[in-house]
Chain A
Amino acid sequence: MNTFQFDTASLLVALPEIFLLSSIVVILLLDIFLTKGFKQVTYYLTQASLLMTGILSYSLIGQPETLIFKNSFVLDDMASVFKVFMMGAAMVAMVYSRHYLTQHSLFRGEYFILVLLSILGMMVMVSGYSLLTLYLGLEILSLSLYTLIAIARKRSGAIEAALKYFVLGAIASGLLLYGMSMIYGISGSLNIIDIAAFASDANLGSRETLIINFGLVFLVIGIAFKLGAVPFHMWVPDVYQGSPTSVTMFISTVPKIAAVAMLVRLLVDGLGSMHAYWADLFMILALLSIALGSVVALMQTNIKRMFAYSTISHVGFVMLGFVTGVVTGYGAATFYILVYVLMSLAAFGVIILLNKKGFEADQISDYKGLSKHSPWFALMMLMVMLSMAGVPPFIGFYSKFFILQQVISAGFVTVAIIAVVFAVISAYYYLQIIKSMYFNEPEGEISIVAPMDMKLILSINAILILVVGIFPDFWMKLALSLF
């Protein structure tokens, strides 16, 4: 088992990653030779390689669980389905990004290369099955994101955001690595599969348990940082606000899926037997996130900052799903994060839609009277906001419902009550956006210059929130089937 196998069959398992990496190299080289008039080629090639990677991942769904590269890389349904969703979300994000980049003169090949690189990192995180692979994926992702944030280097706040993210992210990575070294030191292996076997050994001594728990705390901190859970959320509002909106949208969507995947690999697959220890930590993090995210968002006037706090509160709900310690609870958390990505894409989509040269549309007051000028997109934003607030029949209700159902059936009725009370508080700031769009009179002209493809994709994206909300059964079952 420990002999290194290098046959083509085992490479097929990593085909999506290999394909994406090759595409990145090709696009990177090609982009250098493209003259200014042909820069769109980079965009289309990016979309094509994302699509192809998605198709390759899709074709791997249903394969039996396979471990390759000395058990450090896994192919299972969770990995494939997550990759398909990540590619889909990334493609939509790229459609929105193009409009933003064009309007703000940021359209450069590097942007797309960096996005593709970060996605490669995320794919490694999703499939990583050893501490080293996971960390490697995380670093590929993080380094690409630091650079992406700083890509608008003349923009005030962008450098600050990038530096803040970099410094805090480095600390979090360090903590994560420290935790990993503890786990490695006591279990003697980097592979998740060996760690799981070690940790679930019934004869585990108290000394071993202590050291595992010591490492566990640092793992949880690292993951909480990446997810943006309180009290490791400090970077989230500043990075959201300081980054170019298209980067904010990207950070708030695709990497969240990867972070949840890493959480599953480390804590569920690896240290599932230690659930009782990390669930308590998660409970505190989750409740703090829900509370702080809901309350602090009330005071924001910048819509990106408001969404930053809204993300924190959504992350709290996701973590509640992991507190339950049952597979259906993990399924609920997965469902929640996928739904959140769908909603967040649409929300940032509407923000970017209104962007034009010199106008960022990042103040809540910028949305005054939107329903007069653009009733259709105001309606889309209305659906997204209500969905985020958890009002049926939109999909956001079912994701909250699923989590609450799991939390209550795990016996935490009080936790469920706390969560719903804060959900009502958070409804207030989503209503503020609806208020601006529908109840206030417009102040000046709002014109939409976005291209047709963006309008179309955004409409489909928002309508999905309603349609999936009316027929959520398939998606719930899909999320559950991953565990």
Chain B
Amino acid sequence: MMELLSLLIWLPILGGVLVILIGNDRSDTARWVSVAISVLIFVMSLSLYTGFDSTTHLMQFVEKTSWISQFDINYHIGVDGISMPLIILTTFSTVLVLIAGWEVIQKRTAHYMAAFLMMEGLIIGVFSSLDAILFYAFWEASLIPMLLIIGIWGGDNRVYAAIKFFLYTFLGSVMLLVSLIYMYTKGGSFSILDMHNLSLTAAEQAWIFWAFFVAFAVKVPMFPVHTWLPDAHVQAPTGGSVILAAIMLKMGGYGFFRFSLPITPDASLQFADVVIALSLIAIVYIGFVALVQRDMKKLIAYSSISHMGFVTLGVFALFFILKMGADGNIVSINSGSVEGALLGLEGAMVQMISHGFISAAMFLVVGVLYDRLHSREISTYGGVINSMPKFTGFAVLFAMANAGLPGTSGFVGEFMVILAALQANIWYAVLAATTLIVGAAYTLWMVKRVFWGPITNPAVENLNDINGREFFVLAILALAVLIMGLYPQPVIEAMHSSIEHLLNQALTSKL
């Protein structure tokens, strides 16, 4: 019998096949079946959390069978505190996306639902793979459903956006493949855990670090390889944007945790300043770019890039807080502490999860408006609160969370990362903290122009407030945002051992 993790990967994929077989003609059956499958997967994935042992950094729920014995490639999967929350985030978001697409998607409904289910399975595969080639196969395969989702159900310029999305990420990941194969020829194993212990020279690490960086930075996306994201987001259907922002971007962040830090610690140290500089540019500059957007989706897309800058900042700040002393003990630089470095890493993780909720919610909010008036332009709207009071309540909450209001999840991650940055270098913290101003500016300004003020467009007057389905989806996300904001402790505790282990790996030189 298959074990839990395998079921989580293959059940959605097989479910997707089933939904395709149900066909577009019986779209209601397809909707119910796919939502039922996704809820089942979500419930099953919760037992990853309940059965999780947070006292160890070792992999859990491990399965291993030989796959391609010629190269000793195994079907080797397992989770630790870093991947477990991301898997649950994936199953959670998929449920919401499928419900959110309920009556919105009338064109080829079954295929739409099936694409999301298959993508769910593939992304869970990415987060749980412990074999590099298995990881790569899932990583690449997850592009296919997203390509089709953007290309088939997207907006007017969808073809350009879909192909740009695919080629950008494809180019990034082939470099990853070359470096994985290189490490195999060096160490004779494709197991990611073996690669963690593979000794590499400084030059090799530098090359591999940049190959990883290209692959993951495109995915995150970091400045200056972020340009595919606004196009993809604007053209993608609401559900596609949600999954893209909530989960696919996290694959890049996850890559830094799983590959870059443990495999190339010395190169990470060497190039940490470059990464931090790019992160700060993303946070500040892209924040200003968001300020001038007229298209709501574009604004949120740029805000995503800016917020994801915190993830990379939190990860690489540790190299300015701690270093490994000559005697093998961790020593601090400029009065930094181990807690500070942990805050950075855990803050990055919390930021990823929180951004998964908030960006999903923001894109759904835009989706609700778009479904009604078929416009994403801010100028189309104004005074929406008059006709949609309930909806405005949610929208303002999510906007506040996006701006990092204390009490929402948006605050926790950013605050943790800023605290860590403070220990690294006060200027990092100062620059990162400007996002609290810029972020508030672009989000609240958008809220003001869309929801408040007088009604300028007569169509806005006749808008119907959200229905039960939309209310349900937004309410669940609102709950998630508030819970993560008020009590993030369980999530942080679950990942603590793994993060501590990662910190050790990142500080242990391979030279």
- Listed in ascending order, the chain A residues whose CB lies under 8 Å from chain B are 375, 386, 391-393, 397-398, 401, 404-405, 408-409, 413, 416-417, 420-421, 423-424, 427-428, 431, 434-435, 438-440, 472-473, 476-477, 480
Contacts and interface: CB of A to CB of B under 8 A. Distances in A.
A401 B137 CA distance: 11
Given A431-B163, A438-B151, A420 B174 contact: yes
Contact of B181 (A404, A435, A473, A477): A404
B177 A404 contact: yes
Contacts of B133: 401
B171 A435 contact: no
B181 A408 contact: yes
Contacts, number: 83
Nearest to B185: A409
Nearest to A414: B178
Interface stretch (B63-71, B320-328, B395-403): B63-71
Contacts of A417: 175, 178
Interface string B152-173: 1000001100110011001100
Contact of B185 (A408, A427, A439): A408
B148 interface: yes
A405 B159 contact: no
B113 to A, nearest CB: 15
Contacts of A435: 151, 159, 162-163
Given A392-B137, A392-B140, A431-B166, A421 B171 contact: yes
Contacts of B471: none
Given A397-B140, A420-B175, A435-B159, A405 B184 contact: yes
A99 B140 CA distance: 36
Contacts of A408: 178, 181-182, 185
A125 B292 CA distance: 68
Given A421-B174, A428-B167, A438-B151, 5 more contacts: A391-B144, A404-B177, A404-B181, A408-B178, A477-B69
B136 interface: yes
A401 B152 CA distance: 30
B237 to A, nearest CB: 13
Interface string B96-129: 0000000000000001000000000000000000
Contact of A405 (B71, B140, B148, B170): B71
Interface in B44-72: 67-71
B102 to A, nearest CB: 22
B305 interface: no
B141 interface: yes
Contacts of B317: none
A413 B136 CA distance: 19
Query: Which of A392, A393, A428, A431 has the most CB atoms of chain B within a 10 A radius of its CB?
Result: A392
B22 to A, nearest CB: 13
A81 to B, nearest CB: 17
A386 B184 CA distance: 25
Contacts of B151: 434-435, 438-439
Contact of B159 (A420, A421, A439): A439
A431 B184 CA distance: 30
Query: Which of A401, A428, A476 has the most CB atoms of chain B within a 10 A radius of its CB?
Result: A401
A421 B152 CA distance: 27
A391 B152 contact: no
B143 interface: yes
A476 B70 contact: yes
9 shortest interchain CB distances as A-B pairs: A392-B137, A420-B174, A409-B185, A439-B151, A424-B171, A476-B70, A473-B68, A439-B159, A408-B181
A472 to B, nearest CB: 6
Nearest to B166: A431
A378 to B, nearest CB: 11
B69 A424 contact: no
10 contacts: A392-B136, A393-B141, A405-B184, A409-B181, A424-B174, A434-B151, A435-B163, A439-B158, A473-B70, A480-B70
B185 A405 contact: yes
Contacts of A439: 151-152, 158-159, 162
A434 B177 CA distance: 24
A392 B142 CA distance: 9
Contact of A420 (B144, B167, B178): B178
B122 to A, nearest CB: 9
A457 to B, nearest CB: 22
Contacts of A424: 167, 170-171, 174
A409 B151 CA distance: 38
B178 to A, nearest CB: 5
Contacts of A473: 67-70
Contacts of A428: 163, 167
Contacts of A472: 68
Interface string B185-209: 1000000000000000000000000
Nearest to A405: B181
A431 B163 CA distance: 7
